Structure 1
Amino acid sequence: MTLSAPRQLDPNAFRTSAIDFDQLAERGYVVVPNFLEAPYCQRLFEYAQSLQPTDWQQAGIGRADQYTTNTAVRQDKIRWLQRDFQLESAYLTMMDDLRVQVNRELFMGLFDYECHLAHYPPGAFYRKHLDAFKGRSNRILTTVFYLNPEWQEADGGQLVIYGERGEVLETILPEAGKLVVFLSDVFVHEVLAGNRDRFSITGWYRHNTSINGVIDPTR
C-alpha cells in the first residue's frame, strides 16, 4: 500500500465542538456544523486526496454471502480506517471519545465503532437505504463527517434524510467539518449525485453482539 507521509499529529489533538444530545434523543438525529476545527478537517481532506487508487475499494451492499457490488445502487469507493495510520488513528480516537460521551448522556450502551473514508467521484450517488434493520444488526448510530472545503449548493452531493412516511426531514450540504449522527435502523437516507469529488467518513457505533469473535455486520 502506498501512502503519502502525513504531517506529524498528536492522536489526541483533534478539537471538536459540542453535540446537542437532547436533540439527538428527541429527534433521533442531529446535524453539527463545524464539529471539527478547520485545520484538522483540512488535514483529513488532504490525506484522503493523497491516497492512491489501490488504497480504495468499490463499496458494496449487503452482508456476508449476500454482499455484492451494485453500481446502480451505490457508486462510492471506500477505505476502512485503521489504527496503523496516524490521521486515521486520530479520527478513531476522537470518535471513541464521542462514544463515551453518548453513553454517558444517553445510556445507549455503545460498545465500539468502525468507519471508512468514502470517495464519491462526480456523478456518483447512493440510492435510498437503511444502515440497519431492527433485530438484524448491531449498528445503532450512524455518523457521517464531511471533508469538502468550499462546497456550494450547486455542487450537489447532498445527504437526504427521510421520515417514516417518506417525507424529507433534512437535505444536508456536505460541507467541511459538518457531522451528522442518526439512528441506523430508523432513517432511510440517500446521497445525491455531486458535481465534484466528494469525501466523507461514514461510521457506525455498535452494540456488542459478536459471536465467536465474528463482528456483525461483516465488512
Structure 2
Amino acid sequence: MTQMTENADLEEQLIDDIADALAQRGFIHLQHLLPKWLALQLMHEAQRLAAFEFKPAGIGRNNHQQVNSQVRTDSTLWLRGNSLTQQAYLDWMEQLRMGLNRRLFMGLFDFECHFSHYSTGDFYQRHLDAFKGRSNRILSSVFYLNPHWSESDGGELLLYADEQPSPLLVVPPEFNSCILFLSDVFPHEVLASHSDRFSIAGWYRVNSQSSDRLDPNQ
C-alpha cells in the first residue's frame, strides 16, 4: 500500500467540532489537521513548484485583478488536482464541505484554493476575503506547510473582529495547522515573513450571491 492510498477520511467528530465553532464564533484554529503523510507531501510539492510555477499574487477578481506590491507581495499557484497529492487534499476539503452543509445548511457549492509562498519580507495587508452581499466566497481556510516554524520566522496571520485595532487571534503558520473563518466577517493580515513560508489558502463558495450567510453568535 502506498502513502497516497492511506485513509484520509475526515472524522465526523471533527466536522461536529468545526461546525459548532463556526456557529458560535465564526472561526476555528485547528492543529494536526490532516494525516501527516498528506501534509508532508503537500509541503514537498509546494516547495518543488515554487521555483518555477508560482506567479506574483494579485488583488481583486477576474478582469479587475491586478498586482499591487503595496498590498501583498506573495506568489501563488492554483490547485487544479494535477497530482495525486492535490487530489487527496481537494477530496478532504470536499468531505468537509458536505459535512458542514449537512450540519449548518450553509449552501457551500464548491471549493477553490492555491498554494502561497511568502519569501523573506513578503506580507499581505489587512483585508476582507469577501464583502457582504457582493461575493460568493463564504468560508475561508488557510492550511500551513511550515515545519520547525519559530516566532522569529514571522509570517503570522492576524484575525480581527470588525474594525477593532487589536487582533482577535494571532495564528502562527505552524505545520499541519489550519484556520477557518467566515469570509465576510473577519478582516485579517499576514505579517512580514522572515523566512520561506508556505500555505494553502482556500474559499468555499455558494452558487448564488443571494444565499443565506451563517450568523455566528457574538
Q: Which runs of 4+ in 1 moved over 4 A?
A: none
Identity fraction in percent: 48
Write out per-residue CA displacement over residues 28-54 of structure 1, whole angstroms, 9 at most, x where no aligned residue: 000011111322211111111111533
1:15 deviation in Å?
A: 5.3
What TM-score does the superposition give when structure 1 sets the normalisation length? Answer: 0.87
Q: Note if 1:30 corresponds to 2:28.
A: yes
Equivalent residue letter for 1:124:
D
Aligned residue among 159, 162, 184 for 2:160: 162
Write out per-residue CA displacement over residues 111-136 of structure 1, whole angstroms, 9 at most, x where no aligned residue: 00000000001110000000001111
1:137-156 pair list within 5 angstroms: 137-156=135-154
SS at match of 2:108: coil
Number of residue pairs aligned between Structure 1 and Structure 2 = 203
Whole-Å separation in 1 of the counterparts to 2:80 and 2:63: 24
Q: Contact 2:142/2:179 (CA < 8 Å) preserved in 1?
A: yes
**Aligned match of 1:14:** 8
1:105 deviation in Å?
A: 1.5
Residue segments in structure 2 that go unaligned for 5+ positions in a row: 210-218
Q: Note if 1:192 corresponds to 2:186.
A: no
Equivalent residue letter for 1:42:
L
Residue segments in structure 1 that go unaligned for 5+ positions in a row: 1-6, 211-219
Q: Note if 1:177 corresponds to 2:172.
A: no
Equivalent residue letter for 1:81:
L
Write out per-residue CA displacement over residues 78-111 of structure 1, whole angstroms, 9 at most, x where no aligned residue: 0000122211111111101110111112111100
Aligned residue among 69, 72, 81 for 2:70: 72
Equivalent residue letter for 2:43:
F
1:201-212 pair list within 5 angstroms: 201-209=200-208
Equivalent residue letter for 1:36:
L
1:88-103 pair list within 5 angstroms: 88-103=86-101
1:37-76 pair list within 5 angstroms: 37-51=35-49, 53-76=51-74
Question: RMSD between aligned alpha carbons?
Answer: 1.7
Whole-Å separation in 2 of the counterparts to 1:23 and 1:63: 29
What TM-score does the superposition give when structure 2 sets the normalisation length? Answer: 0.88
1:8 deviation in Å?
A: 6.2
1:64 deviation in Å?
A: 2.8
Q: Contact 2:10/2:96 (CA < 8 Å) preserved in 1?
A: no
